Amino acid sequence: MKLQKFYKLALPNGFDFFTGKTINYRDNIGKTVVCPKFNAKGSLCSSAFIHASRKPNDCFVGARIPCSAYLVKGKPIIEDKDKGGFGELFIIEELKPAELFDWNYAEAVNPINPFKIDPPTEITEKHIALLKKWDSVGASVWDSVWDSVWDSVGDSVGDSVGASVWAYIGSLFPLKRKDWKYTENIKCKGYPFQPAVDLWKMGLVPSFNGKTWGLHGDAKARVVWEGTLPEAKEET
């Protein structure tokens, strides 16, 4: 059987995720690494095999970010839909994670903290307009964000801020509009939750307590603006 190409993720220092000290893939580029506890009759999800995947995103069974990435080749002895088990792997080359994945790896490993950004000195109609758009998606946003990533939804300040967190996380992944649940009636193009992301990157995080909206900013997450949206419209 001809050797097939696969992808392998390791710790940033090149060592395997499983033990953190057994195989250094970076040090073995152009060489073959052997599973130290190889057992052809062992189970796939065990130390009996070295693991690699046909698709980069499937490598995260047992791996995480930040990581280093490698193109490898070998003969899988056992395989499921996510990964293959090998007795040995030839390490072809190291790859750049930021170029390997179809999502924003660079920002995912170094996420933007809105409370480390100086908030605007003045809240303008531009900021309120984004807040209105965030509010306009209404229940559809809460259903999609929380049902897709979390298992509950609420009207508390904590929950509404939490929705912004997941909206930001979701922006790092290039899902198609049809992949976002309950957004069919939202009148917008592209990512349905972009208004919250835009505010996030300006150093502003919305909250809603069931009656009034707030925009929080700076290292203490203080309220830099508070009011109802109709009131905000009358003021501008």
What is the Cα–Cα distance from 166 to 162, expressed in whole angstroms? 6
- Please tell me what DSSP assigns to residue 164: H
Say if residue 178 is in the same domain as residue 91: no
The SS3 call for residue 122 is coil
Are 216 and 224 within 8 A, CB to CB?
yes
Last residue of a domain, one of 105, 134, 149: 105
Say if residue 129 is in the same domain as residue 91: no
* Count of domains observed in the chain: 2
Say if residue 44 is in the same domain as residue 143: no
Residue 202 has pLDDT above 50, yes or no: yes
Are 177 and 190 within 8 A, CB to CB?
yes
Say if residue 125 is in the same domain as residue 224: yes
Say if residue 31 is in the same domain as residue 125: no
Residue 218 has pLDDT above 60, yes or no: yes
Say if residue 118 is in the same domain as residue 75: no
Say if residue 119 is in the same domain as residue 225: yes
State the average pLDDT for the chain: 85
Among 79-83, 180-184, 202-206, the minimum mean pLDDT is found in: 180-184
Say if residue 192 is in the same domain as residue 125: yes
Say if residue 127 is in the same domain as residue 200: yes
> What percentage of the chain carries pLDDT values higher than 70?
81
| Residue predicted with more confidence, 1 or 223 | 223
Tokens linked to 192: 């349905």
| pLDDT single digits (tens) 141-193 | 555 554 544 333 335 455 667 788 888 988 898 766 565 665 665 566 678 78
Last residue of a domain, one of 105, 132, 153: 105
Once rounded to an integer, what is the mean pLDDT over residues 75-80? 95
User: What integer pLDDT is reported at residue 224 of this predicted model?
Assistant: 95
Last residue of a domain, one of 47, 75, 105: 105
**Range of 128's domain?**
113-235
| pLDDT single digits (tens) 12-43 | 999 999 999 999 999 999 999 999 999 999 99
Say if residue 87 is in the same domain as residue 200: no
